[in-house]
Amino acid sequence: MHKTTQHTVRKDVLTLNKYGVLITEDGEVNFLLLKIVLTKMKDFNFEIYRAKNGKEAVDICQKNKDIDLILMDIKMPVMDGYDATRRIKQIAPYMPIVAQTAYSTQEDIEKALAAGCDDFIAKPVDRTILKPILKKYLCSVSK
């Protein structure tokens, strides 16, 4: 008689694709809050990368092919989010970039979109608003 053991496997963990998300954020608290929001989303499995300014974001995108989406702060030192977005779109034209900023006037939104951002989310980032944006851009990425 063979003794069988049952293994319980969490189906959701096995079936989730891992997505690389670059958080471009100079503020430590804002970065940590966004990282927590992302890691608590049960529908996604994220590999999170960080850039503290736009220049770092461009450098990371040039060297790392595992980035699937960028959450781009607009106001940063060294290189702002507008310039970083324009440069990243030259490197990777189809890279989804979501602007995130506390300055969410219609003019700010239009300026972010004109720079090449694909979408816009106001800070502080609300999980219920962020989740559909992530689904919109990541669920079309084939892994």
Q: Residues 69-83: pLDDT tens digits?
A: 999 998 889 999 999
Higher-scoring residue by pLDDT: 128, 12: 128
Q: How crowded is the C-beta side of 117, counted as CA atoms within 13 Å?
A: 25
DSSP secondary structure letters along 48-87: EEEESSHHHHHHHHHH-TTEEEEEEESS-SSS-HHHHHHH
Domains of the chain: 15-138 (3.40.50.2300)
Q: pLDDT averaged over the chain?
A: 84
Summarize pLDDT for 32-59 with one digit per residue, the tens. 999 999 998 888 889 999 999 999 999 9
The pLDDT score that the predictor gives to residue 44 is: 85
Tally: H helices and E strands in the chain: 6, 5
- Minimum mean pLDDT among 14-18, 20-24, 46-50, 135-139: which range? 14-18
The pLDDT score that the predictor gives to residue 126 is: 83
Please give the single-letter amino acid code of residue 116. G
Instruction: Work out the angle at residue 140's Cα, subtended by the Cα atoms of residues 135 and 143, and round it to the nearest 5 degrees.
Output: 110
- Whether residue 143 is predicted with pLDDT greater than 70 in this model: the reply is no
- Minimum mean pLDDT among 3-17, 34-48, 99-113: which range? 3-17
The pLDDT score that the predictor gives to residue 16 is: 65
Start-to-end CA span in the chain (Å): 43
